[in-house]
Structure 1
Amino acid sequence: MENKEKQVRKIAQRVMTKYKLHPPVDMMGLIQEKGITCVEENLGTNADGYSDLKDSDLKIVLNSAIQYEPRKRFTLAHELGHIFISWHSDVTLCVTDNEYSEHNKLDIQEHEANVFASEILMPTEWVKEMLTLNENRSLEYNIKQLCTIANTSIMACFYALENAMKSGNVIVVSGDMFFPKKFISDRRMTLYFQGYDEYDVWDDLCLCKEEFDIGNYQVCHYVFPECPSMEQIETAFSTTENVVSALELIFGNDFSAWCCWMGVVLNQISHIYNAYLFAKNECVKHYKNEKSLMQLYYSDKLDLMNECKLFEYDFYEVNFGNDWTMVLIKEPCYVIDKKVSYSDSRLLIKEILSEMYTDDKNIKKASYRINGIIGSALSHRETMTKEEIYNLLNIKLRRSDIAEFVFHRKFEKFIYSKSVEKSL
């Protein structure tokens, strides 16, 4: 959905440019200039408004019961979103009373219309400028300023802030009529850890926290470390080949930064790593490069490290104190030995397993297990070279429960032969 959101914001920005709009936006003026019919009708409590996109004559109907001007403006901007977003169609309803409730999941078009409305009423670049101008002020002050100048609702302001604030900001909004809603400035940030209440962890990891009431909402603003820039990451990894040393250059001793942004860093570097965060030897978070082929899902640190030693993976342990540690594992890349030759993989697996087991039952069980892993590994991969298949199967089959098979002298020949067969 993130890519679609960016497209929607670009559409809103083009509208702003074309019609020379600036906060506070003249919504009725824009509607009239666009040649859209706008009328008010009593829609009861079911909807704040709707737009009819089926006919050539575009029409917006606004609920005449709405008295709060910022709510009217948001509804109009929302309905304009349905009109300007080219893939929206038919009749669309806007219900702002319930749009933030976890009980009423917004469909994609409604969410996109909200994003459009937020961008039209409070453009991202304008919000950034205002935040920079008042950077020493509290979030509460900034919200009041933005809402007053743009003549928008408080909730619309939260949507705008989510997109405009620097990475590391999280706003949690609560109210009597809905469950807490989280506005996260950079959703790549890691905020959830297995076995821990999210708010307890946030209290421990955040740099600062601000709580206040505004309008009908209770707000909690958490500030975490900012995401390291691509330049910072590239500089660190060009300075040293040691992954831990490079990470220390990026994060220093800031445990919160390691926890929040490890996943981002792992996806920006050339080598492929998996990282596991442990609390008292229990895994609470697994970070991985999106290209990683490894499947090591151990909850116990000792079991994970024993597997790394068993298969001779390069791994590093970082101790943060207070029983918190992180284990980083470098994913190997297996290359075909030019000396290995092809044989029928079905005969090879039978030969290997016959040496491992004396009874047909265990041979059949092991064969199903191994072929199941291979089938699963290749099931969603359409075009792969022999070399890619060889590397993939080497990684996927390195499991402690079939280690004897992996260490057999003919294992490499089996993997090579299977790779040849699957690449044809």
Structure 2
Amino acid sequence: MNNMPREKKLAQRIIRKNSLVPPINVVETLKKYADYVEDDLPSEVDAICIMTKKPLVIVHKFQAPNRKRFTLAHELGHIIMPWHHGMISCHTDTEDIVDGTAYQKMENEANSFAAELLMPSTWLKDIIDQYEKQGVEKLVDIVATKAEVSRSAAFYSIIAQLPSGYYMYLDYHLGGFISTKKSPGTEVYVPYQDYSLRIKWLKTFANASNQFELDNVDIYYWKVENNLSAEELSYEVSKVADIGLGDVIQNILKYGKGTFPSIFFQLINLLPPGYIMMVVQGEYQETYSSPGTKIHAPYKLGKVNLIHWFNKYSEEWGTFSILDYDFYWAQFIIQVPSALDSIDNRLSKDILKDILKECYPREEERRRYLYKINGVVGALNNEAPDEFEDYYRMFRERFVGTIFEKINNHLLFESFIINKINEMMARKKKK
């Protein structure tokens, strides 16, 4: 209840005050707060709400009954919310589209209020608990019938109350575009490639799926279930140092078909610093890094060159395939020296000047690389780690297998890094 948006809290207050139970009598409820008339309005307008001392609601009389109920609840929302004012011309589409304007924000809030008033969260949750196993389309029909709302209004309210694991595509016939919806808490990993491959991925891992049509929109949904608890996942990840990430992932795949995409992001976030995972399919490539990892992985090298890169720069790496995708993982270990372990006591900028001079004979090249290194230093300084070890690891990782290879291999580069970090930490302490 504490996390509930304020407009929904107001709807809950109206429900309690008037002892409302679905299907509520919307007209009777609205008349307690406003005058109400029906008239022939322009086709693009569902209602007009005029905020005077006694608000007036004018409703388009030629709406379908269930849409009219939603419209009336929407107008009541405008009246109840004290921050809504003036004359408001409403079109109460239930799709959650936000264009950033103050008007659209008020419309979205009124829609949210109406949905909560007509389909209270606790009531809706009970319906979902009872009928979820019969499928989303069945849920839509039951809620729409019991609350006397449109199937579209029922659908968008149901999405917000479904348990985690539901992933949906909405294919709009008229607009020619596809949008994605997920139930709360859903973090299913789906490689973001072309539509057909994403569908194939979801079909492979889904524990349940179906499709149906809703007001000229094709709804495709998949339920992807995670059979691995947080404690079990932590236990599996704890084995990484002993058996390697590849074997850990193979163990995770044995927990059930929906488990790997359900825990993918959690897995990445549980890994210690220094891990990257790349997903490759043709020219498609996505790279994920464990928290605090600043390694810039190569992009579109091709499999042969990618393997060469891993062999050259990583401590350990491996690969496995799922469907059409190759997964590459690698661990990079940065050995952190003592903060005083420098062979040159000059200022870091003077050391860097000599490094650039020896690596690049042309002034233009030296200037270009100086700008790039200053950019790396600036980005690192913005993160401002507290410990020398964290500074050093992040610094070194930014130079793994990059265009700075000549600089990275220079004898004085280690001293430059150590001195630069010590200078940054000294400035930080003075602030």
Where on the TM-score scale, by shorter chain, does this alignment land: which range? 0.7 to 0.9
Q: Of 355, 359, 366, which residue of structure 2 is paired with 1:363?
A: 366
The alignment status of 1:324 with 2:318, answered yes or no, reads no
State the alpha-carbon separation in 1 of the partners of residues 240 and 73 from structure 2. Answer: 51
Deviation at 1:185, TM superposition (A): 1.5
Q: Of 267, 279, 298, which residue of structure 1 is paired with 2:281?
A: 279
State the alpha-carbon separation in 1 of the partners of residues 108 and 316 from structure 2. Answer: 45
Partner of 1:124: 121
Partner of 1:298: 299
Q: Of 377, 383, 405, which residue of structure 2 is paired with 1:403?
A: 405
> Residue 276 of structure 1 contacts residue 283 of structure 1 at CA under 8 Å; is this kept in 2?
no
Can you give the 5+ residue segments of structure 2 that lack an aligned partner in the other structure? Answer: none
Deviations 1:342-388 (A, max 9, x none): 5311111111222323343433333233223333454xx27554635
Provide TM-score, normalisation by structure 2.
Answer: 0.78
State the alpha-carbon separation in 1 of the partners of residues 36 and 366 from structure 2. Answer: 75
The alignment status of 1:233 with 2:233, answered yes or no, reads yes
CA gap 1:181/1:283 in 2 versus in 1, 3 angstroms: closer
State the alpha-carbon separation in 1 of the partners of residues 60 and 207 from structure 2. Answer: 46
Partner of 1:307: 309
Partner of 2:90: 94
CA gap 1:368/1:52 in 2 versus in 1, 3 angstroms: same
Deviation at 1:256, TM superposition (A): 5.8
State the alpha-carbon separation in 1 of the partners of residues 271 and 29 from structure 2. Answer: 46
Q: How does 1:334-413 map to 2 (within 5 A)?
A: 335=336, 337-341=338-342, 343-378=346-381, 381=382, 384-385=385-386, 387=388, 388-413=390-415
Stretch moving more, 358-367 or 227-236: 227-236
Partner of 2:57: 61
AA aligned opposite 1:25? I
Q: Of 130, 152, 155, which residue of structure 2 is paired with 1:133?
A: 130
State the alpha-carbon separation in 1 of the partners of residues 363 and 107 from structure 2. Answer: 60
AA aligned opposite 2:357? S
AA aligned opposite 1:419? I
AA aligned opposite 1:43? L
Deviation at 1:27, TM superposition (A): 3.0
Q: Of 163, 167, 170, which residue of structure 2 is paired with 1:166?
A: 163
Deviations 1:186-236 (A, max 9, x none): 45333352355444554555444423345x345333224225553443354
CA gap 1:143/1:101 in 2 versus in 1, 3 angstroms: closer
> Residue 277 of structure 1 contacts residue 325 of structure 1 at CA under 8 Å; is this kept in 2?
yes
Q: How does 1:112-261 map to 2 (within 5 A)?
A: 112-174=109-171, 177-179=174-176, 180-186=178-184, 188-195=187-194, 197=196, 198-199=198-199, 201-213=201-213, 216-227=215-226, 229-237=229-237, 242-252=244-254, 257-259=259-261, 261=263
Deviations 1:264-312 (A, max 9, x none): 44235665743222225x4443344565433325233444444344333
CA gap 1:415/1:28 in 2 versus in 1, 3 angstroms: farther
> Residue 317 of structure 1 contacts residue 327 of structure 1 at CA under 8 Å; is this kept in 2?
yes
Can you give the 5+ residue segments of structure 1 that lack an aligned partner in the other structure? Answer: none
> Residue 74 of structure 2 contacts residue 113 of structure 2 at CA under 8 Å; is this kept in 1?
yes
Provide TM-score, normalisation by structure 1.
Answer: 0.79
State the alpha-carbon separation in 2 of the partners of residues 25 and 10 from structure 1. Answer: 17
CA gap 1:65/1:277 in 2 versus in 1, 3 angstroms: same
State the alpha-carbon separation in 2 of the partners of residues 400 and 293 from structure 1. Answer: 12
CA gap 1:290/1:357 in 2 versus in 1, 3 angstroms: closer
Deviations 1:82-123 (A, max 9, x none): 4555665555443135x6498989844433433333233223
State the alpha-carbon separation in 2 of the partners of residues 235 and 82 from structure 1. Answer: 51
SS at match of 1:319: strand
CA gap 1:238/1:367 in 2 versus in 1, 3 angstroms: closer
State the alpha-carbon separation in 1 of the partners of residues 98 and 12 from structure 2. Answer: 31
SS at match of 2:328: strand
CA gap 1:408/1:111 in 2 versus in 1, 3 angstroms: farther
AA aligned opposite 2:131? N
Aligned residues: 413
Stretch moving more, 368-377 or 195-204: 195-204
SS at match of 2:160: helix
CA gap 1:173/1:338 in 2 versus in 1, 3 angstroms: closer
Task: Give me the CA root mean square deviation.
Answer: 3.8
> Residue 386 of structure 1 contacts residue 422 of structure 1 at CA under 8 Å; is this kept in 2?
no
SS at match of 2:45: coil
CA gap 1:96/1:209 in 2 versus in 1, 3 angstroms: same
Percent identity for Structure 1 against Structure 2: 23
State the alpha-carbon separation in 1 of the partners of residues 221 and 25 from structure 2. Answer: 34
> Residue 334 of structure 1 contacts residue 390 of structure 1 at CA under 8 Å; is this kept in 2?
no
